[in-house]
Structure 1
Amino acid sequence: MTRVVVGARWLLAALLVAAGFSHLTWGRRGYRIVVPDWAPRLTGLDKDAIVVASGAVEIMLGAAAIALPRERRRVGGVIAALFIAVLPGNVHQWRTGRNAPMLGSDRARFGRLFLQPVLVAWALWSTWRL
């Protein structure tokens, strides 16, 4: 079981780093569509800055999940919180019907909503076990 949990944590870390880099590179423009219109007013950042910041946070959390084993539970909680924090953007994208990288249909956008609780559970399970 230990190998499975460690493998799940490494896979989660790799996905976070890959997602983060996509926010900073090829997907950057498309991800701005996902940012709800109220988010810039709330944060004081424009949509592009929010996408860049979220990408940087994903990279840092992915690296921290591996590089900080003594802090893995705390890091896992922060990763889960990030997945919860981006849910309004996923709902916004589904409600507006806007395409974003890898989410070019209503079905894909709707299915993405159900992935979010799985990601939260994955983050907690893979960092709190052992």
Structure 2
Amino acid sequence: MSPARRRRDAVAILRSAARWTLAAVLLAAGASHLTWGRRGYRIVVPGWATRVTRLDEDAIVVASGVVEIGLGAALVALPRERHAIGAAVAAFFVAVFPGNVHQWRTGRAAPLLRPDRARLIRLFLQPALVAWALWATGPRSR
């Protein structure tokens, strides 16, 4: 086997592992939005989001949890659609970013994000999540 082929195979294995890990993260985050973390996540919802959507904070938290579970499940169940699903996951991470900014600006604690430093780090984590989603679901190497 050529070195180029070994490299492509290694990248494919890494992408697959990254995709499965991303699916697990989305499923766990979605479950937390629907169960133990539900109450705490309400404070992350900016006031303008409730006005624009005409939903209360709890409905937005539940909806985001359902979307996370759906995206995580789709990554596992629809491997042939992984590129489109990856783009949807990346778009979701971009869509929830204003909530992260709101939480950082207001200084309000939420599950796993109590200190100001953790909330600030979360802002820089979001672009990494977008990149992760796009890379892990990218086209196969030839």
Q: Give TM class, smaller chain.
A: over 0.9
| Aligned equivalents of 1:107, 1:29: Cα separation in 2 | 22
Specify the alignment match of 2:24 in structure 1: 14
Q: How many residues align?
A: 130
Question: Could you say which residue in structure 1 is the equivalent of 2:132?
Answer: 122
Q: Per-residue displacement from partner, 1:13-41 (whole Å, max 9, x unpaired)? A: 00000000000000000000000001011
2:64 is the alignment partner of 1:57: no
Q: 51, 70, 88: which one pairs with 2:80?
A: 70
Q: Shift in Å at residue 129 of structure 1?
A: 3.6
Partner of residue 29, structure 1: 39
Structure 1 runs of 4+ with >6 Å offset: none
Q: How high is the TM-score relative to the length of structure 2? A: 0.90
Superposed displacement of residue 70, structure 1: 1.3
The alignment yields a C-alpha RMSD, in angstroms, of 0.6
Extract unaligned runs of 5+ from structure 2.
1-10
Q: Which residue of 1 aligns with 2:108?
A: 98
TM-score calculated relative to the size of structure 1:
0.99
* Correspondence for 2:52 among 42, 50, 53: 42
Bigger CA radius of gyration: 2
